[in-house]
C-alpha cells in the first residue's frame, strides 16, 4: 500500500473530482452503515408489535421515536415505505458518484504515469534499449499500467467507502452496546475481524509473489510476440513456424498456470472471510440469546454486524488488488527509476556549429568489461570525409556512436572545436549531427512527413528540394499519392535503397555540419546503388562525415580511411597512401581485386579483411 502513495500525488490534478468522490463515499457509508440499522432499531419497533413494551432509547433516539410515534401508525408506515427506497436511492446515487469519480481520478493517475514512463523512455540512453527487449518494455508501459489502473480504480472507490462503512457500523455497534449492556457480550464476535485480517495478509503475500512471476512472464510473452511479428521473413525462410508455435504454447501454458494460481488466491479471500464471519455471527447469536437480548436489539446488531463484515470482505479484496498491483509497480519503477547514464552537465556550455575539428583524445570504451575501443587518439578537421573500415566487430559503429553521445567514452574525451561533448547538452550535440543508419526507420505517416523529420518546420518546397538532392523525387512521384503516400509501419512497401534515399533526404534537410552514415550491408540493385552513391557524394560536401563503409565505391569519396581492428585504429590515411604503404589495407584491396574485379563496386569491405 505504501508503495502506491507516491503515485497518488498525481491526484493533485483532479483534486475536486476526487474530493467529490470521497464525499459521496462518506454519504454512501453513512446511508448504508448507520442508516439501515438505525431504521431497524428505532422505526421498526414502532411499526411492528413486539413482546417488549418499549425499546431502550437514549435522548436523541427517544426524541426521534416520539416525533415518529406522534405521526400515527398509517402515516408513519407511508413515510417509512418512502424512507426505505429513499435511503437506498441516496446509497445508490452516492455509490455511483463515488465509483465514477474515483475511477475517473484513478484513470487520470494512470494516464499521468503512462506519460511519465513514455517521457522517461525518450530520455534513456541507447544502452537501456540494448539490454531490454522492446516487447517487455511495451508490456510494462501498457499491461502493467493497466493493472495499476485496475488497482487504483478497483481499490480507490472502496478505499474510502469501506473503511468509513466499517467505522460507522462499528461505531454504531459500540454505541448500541453502550446503551444496552446485554449487547456487550454480543459484540465480542467482532474479534473475528482481526482473524479475517490475518487471513487476508497471508493470502495477499502469496498472491503478490505469484503476480510478480505472472507479470514477468507476461512481459516475456509480449517480447516473444513482438519478435515474431517483426520477423515474418526469417520465420518462413527457415521454416520456424512449428518451433515458434511450440514456444508460444509453452509460454501461454506457463502464464495460464500462474494466472490460475493468482485467481485461486484472489478468490480464496472472500469465502474465507465469509466463513470466519459466519462463525462470528453464530457466536453473536449464542452470546446474545444467553445475555437475554430482545429481537429489536438483535436486528440492530445483526444489521450492524452485517455492515461491518461486508467492508472487511471488500478490504480483503483491495488488499489482494494491491498485492497484485505491487508487482506491476515494481516493473514500472524499473523504468522510472533507471538512471540516465549520460548525465547532462550542471552548467552546459553552448556548442557553436563545428568550424575547426572533432578530436578523439585517448578514447577507450567498453560496453561490459572487455574494451571495444582502445586509446583512440585523432583529429578530424572540419569537412573531412572519413571512411571507417575493418572486420565485423572491430569497433567501427561504436566509434561513430560516441560522436552523437549515444554512449560516453569510458576513458578520454571527445571534443568539438575544443569543447568536451559532455559539457554540452545532448540535444545541442545532436542538433549538429545527421545520422543515416543502415536500416533507416520510417515512422507511420506520409513520405513527406518522414522527410520532414530532418527539419520539422520545412516547407513542401524544401522537402521536395531535399528529396531531389537525395535522388528520391522520381520514385516518390511514382508512388500512388506521391509525397502524401502513407508508408507502412516499417516502410515495408519501399525498397532498401528507397528507404536509404528518404533517410538521405532527411539528412539534406537537417543540413547539419556532421554526418554519420552507416552503409547498408545488403546489396542494393545497381540503379539504386548508383542513385545512393550520387546522393551521398552530394551530401558529404562541406560536412565532417563518418561513413561506416561496406562498399569500396564509398571509399572513393572519402578523404581519409581509418582501418579498425579489435578496437584499435591500425591504419589511418588517404586511400592512395594506405594502398601503397599499409600492408593490411593493401591486403584488403588485393583480396578484393583477386576476388572479382568486375564487381569491385559492391563487395563488402569487411568480407576481404583477414583478422
Ligand atoms: N550494446 C552492446 N553491448 C555489448 N557489446 C556490444 C554492444 N554493441 C556492440 N558490442 C560489441 O562491441 C564490439 C564492437 O562492435 P561494433 O558494432 O562497434 O563493431 P563494428 O566494427 O561496427 O561491426 P559491424 O561491422 O559488424 O557492425 C563487438 O564485439 C560487439 O559484439
- Which ipTM value was assigned to this complex? 0.95
Q: Which residue has the higher pLDDT, 463 or 601?
A: 463
**β-strands 433-436, 514-518: how paired?**
parallel
* Cα(562) to centroid(ligand 1), Å: 17
The residues, any chain, with a CB within 8 Å of residue 348's CB and separated by 6 or more, are 423, 424, 425, 428
Q: DSSP character for 570?
A: E
In this prediction, residue 163 carries a pLDDT of 80
**Cell matching residue 167:** 467505522
| CA pseudo-torsion sign 565, 567, 572, 576 | positive
User: DSSP states of 15-51 as a string?
Assistant: HHHHHHHHHHHHHHHIIIIIIHHHIIIIIHHHHS--S
* Cα(166) to centroid(ligand 1), Å: 62
The residues, any chain, with a CB within 8 Å of residue 395's CB and separated by 6 or more, are 372, 373, 564, 566, 567, 568
Percent of the chain scoring above 70 in pLDDT: 86
* Cα(394) to centroid(ligand 1), Å: 7
User: Quick check: 320 pLDDT over 50?
Assistant: yes
**Cell matching residue 443:** 515512422
520 lines ligand 1 (CB under 6 A): no
Q: How far apart are CA 611 and CA 609, in angstroms?
A: 6
Residue whose CB lies within 8 A of the most ligand 1 atoms, among 365, 370, 395, 604, for a mutation test: 395
User: Quick check: 365 pLDDT over 90?
Assistant: yes
Q: How far apart are CA 472 and CA 536, in angstroms?
A: 12
In this prediction, residue 182 carries a pLDDT of 59
Instruction: Report all structural domains of the chain as residue ranges with CATH numbers, in order of start.
Output: 11-336 (1.20.1560.10), 381-408+425-432+514-611 (3.40.50.300), 443-511 (3.40.50.300)
Residues 301-312, mean pLDDT to the nearest whole number: 75
367 lines ligand 1 (CB under 6 A): yes
- Nearest partner of 169 among 295, 35, 293, judged by Cα: 35
397 lines ligand 1 (CB under 6 A): yes
Provide the strand spans (E) within 138-183.
none
129 lines ligand 1 (CB under 6 A): no
User: Quick check: 311 pLDDT over 60?
Assistant: yes
Mean pLDDT (the chain) is 81
Q: Which residue has the higher pLDDT, 523 or 582?
A: 582
In this prediction, residue 312 carries a pLDDT of 80
pTM: 0.72
Q: Tell which phi-psi region holds residue 326, choosing left (phi > 0), alpha (psi between -120 and 50) or beta.
A: alpha
Residue located via cell numbers 431497524: 40
In this structure, the number of other CB atoms found within 10 A of the CB of residue 541 comes to 11
Cα separation values, 342 from 133, 364, 409, 410, Å: 20, 16, 10, 11
In this prediction, residue 93 carries a pLDDT of 92
* Cα(521) to centroid(ligand 1), Å: 15
393 lines ligand 1 (CB under 6 A): yes
Categorize the per-residue pLDDT at 379 as very low, low, confident or very high, splitting at 50, 70 and 90.
Answer: very high
In this prediction, residue 464 carries a pLDDT of 93
In this prediction, residue 187 carries a pLDDT of 65
Categorize the per-residue pLDDT at 460 as very low, low, confident or very high, splitting at 50, 70 and 90.
Answer: very high
Find the largest Cα–Cα distance for the chain: 121
3-state DSSP call for residue 440? Answer: coil
User: Quick check: 574 pLDDT over 70?
Assistant: yes
CB-count exposure of residue 281 (10 Å: 0-12, 13-18, 19+) = middle
User: Quick check: 507 pLDDT over 80?
Assistant: yes
Ligand 1 atom closest to the CA of 400, numbered from 1:
18
**β-strands 514-518, 544-548: how paired?**
parallel
In this prediction, residue 33 carries a pLDDT of 55
Q: How far apart are CA 220 and CA 197, in angstroms?
A: 34
130 lines ligand 1 (CB under 6 A): yes
**Cell matching residue 178:** 453502550
User: Quick check: 168 pLDDT over 70?
Assistant: yes
Residues in the chain: 611
Residue whose CB lies within 8 A of the most ligand 1 atoms, among 127, 363, 397, 516, for a mutation test: 397
Q: Which residue has the higher pLDDT, 570 or 291?
A: 570
Amino acid at each position: 500500500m505504501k508503495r502506491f502513495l507516491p503515485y497518488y500525488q498525481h491526484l493533485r490534478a483532479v483534486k475536486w473530482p476526487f474530493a467529490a468522490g470521497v464525499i459521496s463515499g462518506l454519504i454512501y457509508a453513512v446511508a448504508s452503515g448507520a442508516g439501515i440499522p438505525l431504521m431497524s432499531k428505532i422505526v421498526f419497533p414502532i411499526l411492528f408489535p413486539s413482546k417488549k413494551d418499549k425499546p431502550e432509547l437514549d435522548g436523541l433516539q427517544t426524541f426521534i421515536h416520539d416525533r415518529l410515534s406522534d405521526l400515527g401508525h398509517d402515516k408513519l408506515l407511508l413515510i417509512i415505505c418512502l424512507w426505505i427506497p429513499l435511503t437506498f436511492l441516496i446509497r445508490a446515487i452516492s455509490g455511483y458518484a463515488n465509483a465514477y469519480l474515483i475511477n475517473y481520478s484513478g484513470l487520470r493517475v494512470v494516464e499521468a504515469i503512462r506519460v511519465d514512463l513514455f517521457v522517461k523512455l525518450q530520455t534513456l540512453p541507447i544502452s537501456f534499449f540494448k539490454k531490454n527487449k522492446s516487447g517487455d518494455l511495451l508490456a510494462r508501459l501498457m499491461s502493467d499500467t493497466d493493472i495499476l489502473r485496475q488497482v487504483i480504480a478497483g481499490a480507490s472507490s472502496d478505499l474510502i467507502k469501506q473503511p468509513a462503512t466499517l467505522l460507522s457500523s462499528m461505531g454504531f455497534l459500540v454505541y448500541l452496546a453502550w446503551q444496552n449492556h446485554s449487547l456487550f457480550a454480543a459484540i465480542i464476535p467482532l474479534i473475528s475481524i482481526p482473524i479475517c485480517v490475518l487471513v487476508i495478509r497471508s493470502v495477499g503475500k502469496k498472491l503478490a509473489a505469484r503476480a510478480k512471476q505472472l507479470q514477468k512472464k507476461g512481459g516475456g510473452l509480449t517480447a516473444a510476440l513482438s519478435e515474431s511479428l517483426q520477423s515474418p521473413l526469417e520465420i518462413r525462410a527457415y521454416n520456424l513456424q512449428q518451433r515458434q508455435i511450440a514456444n508460444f504454447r509453452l509460454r501461454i501454458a506457463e502464464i495460464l498456470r500462474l494466472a490460475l494460481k493468482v485467481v485461486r488466491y484472489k478468490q480464496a479471500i472472500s469465502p474465507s472471510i465469509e466463513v470466519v464471519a459466519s462463525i462470528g455471527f453464530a457466536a453473536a447469536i449464542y452470546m446474545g440469546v444467553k445475555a437475554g437480548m430482545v429481537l429489536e436489539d438483535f436486528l440492530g446488531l445483526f444489521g450492524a454486524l452485517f455492515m461491518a463484515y461486508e467492508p472487511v470482505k471488500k478490504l480483503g479484496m483491495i488488499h489482494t488488488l494491491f498485492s497484485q498491483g505491487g508487482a506491476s509497480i515494481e516493473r514500472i519503477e524499473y523504468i522510472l527509476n533507471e538512471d540516465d547514464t549520460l548525465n547532462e552537465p550542471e552548467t552546459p556550455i553552448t556548442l557553436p556549429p563545428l568550424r575547426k575539428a572533432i578530436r578523439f583524445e585517448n578514447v577507450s570504451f567498453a560496453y561490459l568489461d572487455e574494451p571495444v575501443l582502445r586509446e583512440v587518439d585523432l583529429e578530424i578537421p572540419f569537412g573531412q570525409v572519413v571512411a571507417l573500415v575493418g572486420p565485423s566487430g572491430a569497433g567501427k559503429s561504436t566509434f561513430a556512436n560516441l560522436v552523437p553521445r549515444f554512449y560516453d567514452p569510458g576513458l578520454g574525451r571527445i571534443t568539438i572545436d575544443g569543447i568536451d561533448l559532455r559539457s554540452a547538452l545532448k540535444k545541442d550535440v545532436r542538433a549538429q549531427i545527421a545520422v543515416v543508419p543502415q536500416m533507416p526507420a520510417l515512422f507511420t505517416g506520409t513520405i513527406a512527413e518522414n522527410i520532414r523529420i530532418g527539419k520539422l518546420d520545412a516547407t513542401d518546397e524544401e522537402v521536395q528540394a531535399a528529396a531531389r538532392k537525395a535522388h528520391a523525387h522520381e520514385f516518390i512521384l511514382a508512388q500512388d499519392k506521391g509525397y502524401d503516400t502513407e508508408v507502412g509501419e516499417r516502410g515495408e512497401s519501399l525498397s532498401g535503397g528507397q528507404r536509404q534515399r528518404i533517410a538521405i533526404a532527411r539528412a539534406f534537410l537537417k543540413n547539419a555540419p556532421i554526418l554519420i552514415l552507416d552503409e547498408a550491408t545488403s546489396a542494393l540493385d545497381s540503379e539504386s546503388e548508383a542513385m545512393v552513391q550520387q546522393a551521398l557524394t552530394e551530401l558529404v560536401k562541406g560536412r565532417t562525415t563518418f561513413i561506416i563503409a561496406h562498399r569500396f565505391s564509398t571509399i572513393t569519396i572519402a578523404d581519409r580511411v581509418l582501418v579498425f581492428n579489435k578496437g584499435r585504429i591500425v591504419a589511418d590515411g588517404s586511400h592512395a597512401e594506405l594502398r601503397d604503404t599499409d600492408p593490411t589495407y593493401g591486403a584488403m584491396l588485393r583480396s578484393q581485386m583477386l576476388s572479382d574485379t568486375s564487381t569491385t563496386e559492391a563487395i563488402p569491405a569487411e568480407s576481404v579483411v583477414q583478422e
